[in-house]
Structure 1
């Protein structure tokens, strides 16, 4: 279930309501309000409030973003998720958890791929726990660190950017992924510097098994990102556990010494293969569920001032 509020210039309310009806939504609320801004006269606006199951909300929002009259400079779209809603609708239809609108996925992935001081600190400290667990072969400590790594969101940002051709999001996800990878390696090296002990963890698997696991996780992560009922935090743990241990291993090895050349090359290849496979698997999911890019590109261009 989604609660959608669309605010637009006076006279646009009926056009917005008609789009909702065309998407299969049976009822909307339309009212007029005034918007006040510093130094400007109050402006009359139409506000449309909509309650809709998640699949119908996706259809409406994707259609709205592509509508000829829609302008991000003059229209504001707000999407909320209520904990409960008592209506005459059948709960089986009202509570359908999929599929999110492209706008919701876009905003969610933007939020999780922002490079901030908090993100840098969280990644470094979580990676230090992972490295400590790898050195001592302590799986519970490794899991504690992996829970806080936002690695899979960054790869999903790249995947969604590729699918929708939203290059700003792709660049942001790639930037966050590179920064996180460097931080994980740095944390691994710092941990190994202070703990003079050989690494006990050795469960890295083969290139083939890594590819298969990355493929499964990529599909699951893509599905979880568009599904209210998915346990996204657990999918994130799976993705980070499978991939982030490789840059942590590299950082540890920088201090404690690399094994033979063949093993080093194989693990570098494994990292590249696993990341690429996860991203492409998520792209396939977004394509199958028809994540729309045209409206998002209009939105991104207008809000960034490049249109």
Structure 2
């Protein structure tokens, strides 16, 4: 369920509400506001409805000549309960989160902050230690906090929507996360010491099929209010974050006798490319009706 708050030029609320009505939204509240900083008056409209109806409305609004980024603004808010004349069964349909929500949510993960650096470094150190000690429980906990899953999805959405700035920023942050993870794993390996245990990452076929399926599921979950994103984030991280940490450990402790660093690098690159392509394709299918084209830049 979603609430949309729009700031509109005076006299345009009725025309905008026609788009909402066509999307199945029965009512809206409107009141006049004074916009500080612009020294003008405007109309503020509030709409509340199920996610699919809000998504349909926003798609039509962004494609409409009524929408001008200089004069029309809107914000999206999640609603936990919405009691009106509609049945709970209809108003709680979770599928169809607007791609504008997905776009802005993914952008939040594409900034390098002190928290980002700390989470990346510590999660990589914990995962490296867990791999050295064969501690599965600790490895799962460490994977939850790795930053790679939303960055892969950000790259995929940028490619699907032809949003070059998002794609470039996501790739920059991915590169930083890669360097932080490899260096953290290498230092952990040097401090903890060996021996390096053999790791079976599987063959290309198994990895790439799993990466494709996970990429599709993750993109679908990103557009669904009940997609269990945390668990899918863990699933996304598993195919390639362990490989990045493994490479860092080999820098400090060397490659085991039966290990192949080049093979692992190719497997890592393949997993990342396949997962990104699968997620991007899924976003293209979800936004095939023009919604991707309306995403803000």
> What range describes the TM-score normalised by the shorter chain of this pair?
over 0.9
Q: Verify the 8 A CA contact 1:137 1:199 in the aligned structure 2.
A: no
Per-residue CA distance 1:23-69 (angstroms, 9 max, x = gap): 222222222111223xx63x111111111110111111122122223
Per-residue CA distance 1:131-180 (angstroms, 9 max, x = gap): 00011111111111111112110000011111111111111111121111
Q: Structure 2 CA distance, aligned partners of 1:84 and 1:228?
A: 13
SS of residue matched to 1:44: strand
Match of residue 181, structure 2, among 162, 165, 184: 184
Quote how far apart the aligned CAs of 1:222 are: 0.7
Q: Structure 1 CA distance, aligned partners of 2:20 and 2:91?
A: 16
Distance 1:118-1:159 versus aligned 2 partners, 3 A rule: same
Query: Which structure 2 segments of 5+ residues have no match?
Result: none
Partner of 1:29: 29
Q: Map of 1:99-138 to 2, 5 A cutoff?
A: 99-138=96-135
Distance 1:139-1:262 versus aligned 2 partners, 3 A rule: closer
Q: Verify the 8 A CA contact 2:198 2:259 in the aligned structure 1.
A: no
Q: Structure 2 CA distance, aligned partners of 1:81 and 1:258?
A: 49
Query: Which structure 1 segments of 5+ residues have no match?
Result: 301-307
Partner of 1:225: 222
Partner of 2:293: 294
Say whether residues 1:65 and 2:56 are aligned partners.
no
Runs of 4+ deviating beyond 3 Å: 259-262
Partner of 1:145: 142
Q: Structure 2 CA distance, aligned partners of 1:196 and 1:36?
A: 61
Q: Verify the 8 A CA contact 1:163 1:283 in the aligned structure 2.
A: yes
Quote how far apart the aligned CAs of 1:262 are: 7.3
Quote how far apart the aligned CAs of 1:201 are: 5.6
SS of residue matched to 1:17: helix
Quote how far apart the aligned CAs of 1:259 are: 4.0
Partner of 1:303: none
SS of residue matched to 1:112: coil
Partner of 1:48: 45
Q: Structure 2 CA distance, aligned partners of 1:93 and 1:144?
A: 37
Q: Structure 2 CA distance, aligned partners of 1:201 and 1:6?
A: 57
Quote how far apart the aligned CAs of 1:90 are: 1.7
Per-residue CA distance 1:63-87 (angstroms, 9 max, x = gap): 2122223122322211111111111
Quote how far apart the aligned CAs of 1:263 are: 1.8
